[in-house]
């Protein structure tokens, strides 16, 4: 099995497990789920990333990672705003 | 085979993204508190998984059998010409001569042919042997990889081994797994589930001698990488094909001369 196949399967398994666990713990929150899913995604990208070359598929994944980083930052900012509102600062 | 694989990846990614869109529509139209709906997480799972699969599926590629045939176009004819011109023994890959130089391939000729060569005319001398000096078959491919895929060749054996694995597994996708090991002055490369196995086997059926005289495709590429990376002379020592239980394994042995320990 190729590295990319393993990466795809691992990411899907990670996201399905995360959504299943969040549902079991009665916390099906999209923002929390996105954070967990993106952490898994970044780890997988780090692991499959080649050191001495930059294949086209990895360049596509880099674009996806950039979009993911923006989304991740947005979720974190929203969470901080929620906390600020909660503490009444 | 690769074309089918790519096609399946693309279809899978479209299905996942379509499934995610359908789930999203269903959740938005049926539940006012949709941000807390578990189906929304399933939708996000499908979308992220689909986009990831799409990104990894790469470009359209040709069928493995066709690629295998194309990579061997003219090799047997070339091997025949080299042999008829007096080519004998094993081709030697010479390291680049200074910065900006390129790897060259030296094919020694039989001593009996030397008087026919006259005063050199197009032939060269290396370590006391007379022969032909030409660009290796994979030289242009190596240049393309450096230019288009930002390939860097390390000068130490350990990192170079990883670079060879990356090129075969991730860049060219010619093997599922690549093992590289060194035994003294010999580097042994094992390509598991080699994509161009059929072409390699057919060439060896015609004449195993051609592999040594003028290594083609991957054998030439790896030799070029070793010669340029380690700055030493590299020659193909032997190629073994193994198709027991459909493993399609190829073992390539390279002899290094003057390589750093």
Residue of B nearest to A50 (CA): B166
B147 vs A: CB within 8 A: no
A61 vs B: CB within 8 A: yes
Residue of A nearest to B163 (CA): A52
Across the interface, do A28 and B166 touch by the CB < 8 Å criterion? no
Please report which confidence band the pLDDT of residue A69 belongs to, taking 50, 70 and 90 as the band edges.
very high
Q: How many CB atoms lie within 10 A of CB B205?
A: 8
- ipTM (interface predicted TM): 0.88
Across the interface, do B163 and A19 touch by the CB < 8 Å criterion? no
Across the interface, do B41 and A57 touch by the CB < 8 Å criterion? no
Contact call for residues B165 and B242 (beta carbons, < 8 A) = no
A24 vs B: CB within 8 A: no
Q: How many CB atoms lie within 10 A of CB B240?
A: 12
- CATH topology for the B66-75+88-105+135-257 domain: H-NOX domain (3.90.1520)
User: Where do the H-state alpha helices sit in chain B?
Assistant: 2-30, 38-57, 64-71, 75-84, 139-148, 157-166, 197-206, 209-213, 217-230
Domain boundaries, chain B: 2-61, 66-75+88-105+135-257
In this complex, the residue of A3, A54, A64 whose CB is nearest that of residue B55 is A64
Sheet of B177-183: strands edge to edge?
A: B123-126, B129-134, B104-108, B92-94, B233-242, B249-257, B186-192, B177-183
What pLDDT shows up at residue B39?
A: 86
Reported pTM: 0.80
% of chain A with per-residue pLDDT over 70: 99
In this complex, the residue of B36, B52, B58 whose CB is nearest that of residue A56 is B58
pLDDT at residue A10 tops 90: yes
Token pair belonging to A32: 């929390």
In this complex, the residue of A12, A22, A51 whose CB is nearest that of residue B41 is A22
**Chain A residues touching residue B35 (CB < 8 angstroms):** 29-30
Please report which confidence band the pLDDT of residue A45 belongs to, taking 50, 70 and 90 as the band edges.
very high
Average pLDDT over residues A39-44: 94
Residue of B nearest to A9 (CA): B49
Across the interface, do A37 and B44 touch by the CB < 8 Å criterion? yes
Dihedral sign for Cα B28, B34, B35, B41, please.
negative
**Chain A residues touching residue B45 (CB < 8 angstroms):** 12, 15-16, 19, 37
Write out chain B's pLDDT in tens, 261 residues.
555 667 778 888 899 999 999 988 988 888 777 777 888 888 999 999 999 988 888 666 666 677 767 777 777 777 777 777 777 778 889 988 877 788 888 888 776 555 555 554 456 777 777 788 888 888 888 999 999 888 999 989 899 999 999 999 888 888 888 999 998 889 999 999 888 888 888 888 877 777 787 787 889 999 999 999 988 899 888 888 888 877 889 999 999 887 776
**Chain B residues touching residue A28 (CB < 8 angstroms):** 36-38, 40-41
B152 vs A: CB within 8 A: yes
pLDDT at residue A24 tops 80: yes
What pLDDT shows up at residue B40?
A: 87
Across the interface, do A33 and B159 touch by the CB < 8 Å criterion? no
Q: How far is A44 from chain B (nearest CA, A)?
A: 11
Average pLDDT over residues A12-16: 93
A17 vs B: CB within 8 A: no
Q: How many CB atoms lie within 10 A of CB B220?
A: 23
């Amino acid at each position: 099995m190729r590295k990319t196949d393993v990466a795809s399967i691992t990411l899907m398994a990670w996201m399905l497990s995360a959504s299943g666990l969040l549902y079991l713990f009665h916390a099906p929150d999209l923002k929390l789920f996105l954070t967990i899913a993106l952490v898994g995604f970044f780890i997988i990208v780090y692991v499959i990333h080649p050191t001495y070359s930059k294949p086209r598929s990895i360049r596509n994944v880099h674009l996806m990672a950039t979009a993911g980083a923006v989304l991740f930052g947005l979720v974190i900012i929203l969470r901080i705003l929620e906390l600020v509102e909660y503490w009444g600062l | 085979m690769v074309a089918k694989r790519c096609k399946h990846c693309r279809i899978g990614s479209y299905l996942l993204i379509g499934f995610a869109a359908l789930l999203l529509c269903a959740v938005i139209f049926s539940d006012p508190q949709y941000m807390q709906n578990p189906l929304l997480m399933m939708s996000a799972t499908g979308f992220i998984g689909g986009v990831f699969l799409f990104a990894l599926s790469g470009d359209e590629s040709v069928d493995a059998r066709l690629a295998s045939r194309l990579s061997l176009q003219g090799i047997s004819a070339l091997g025949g010409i080299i042999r008829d011109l007096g080519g004998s023994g094993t081709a030697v890959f010479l390291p680049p001569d200074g910065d900006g130089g390129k790897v060259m391939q030296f094919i020694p000729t039989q001593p009996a042919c030397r008087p026919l060569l006259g005063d050199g005319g197009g032939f060269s001398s290396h370590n006391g042997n007379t022969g032909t000096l030409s660009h290796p078959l994979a030289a242009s491919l190596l240049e393309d990889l450096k230019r288009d895929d930002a390939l860097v060749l390390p000068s130490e054996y350990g990192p170079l081994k990883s670079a060879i694995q990356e090129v075969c597994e991730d860049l060219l996708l010619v093997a599922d797994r690549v093992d590289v090991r060194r035994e003294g002055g010999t580097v042994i490369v094992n390509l598991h589930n080699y994509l161009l196995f059929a072409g390699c086997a057919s060439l060896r059926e015609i004449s195993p001698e051609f592999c040594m005289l003028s290594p083609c495709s991957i054998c030439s590429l790896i030799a070029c990488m070793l010669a340029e990376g380690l700055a030493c002379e590299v020659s193909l020592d032997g190629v073994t094909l193994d198709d027991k239980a459909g493993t399609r394994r190829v073992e390539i042995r390279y002899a290094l001369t003057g390589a750093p320990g």
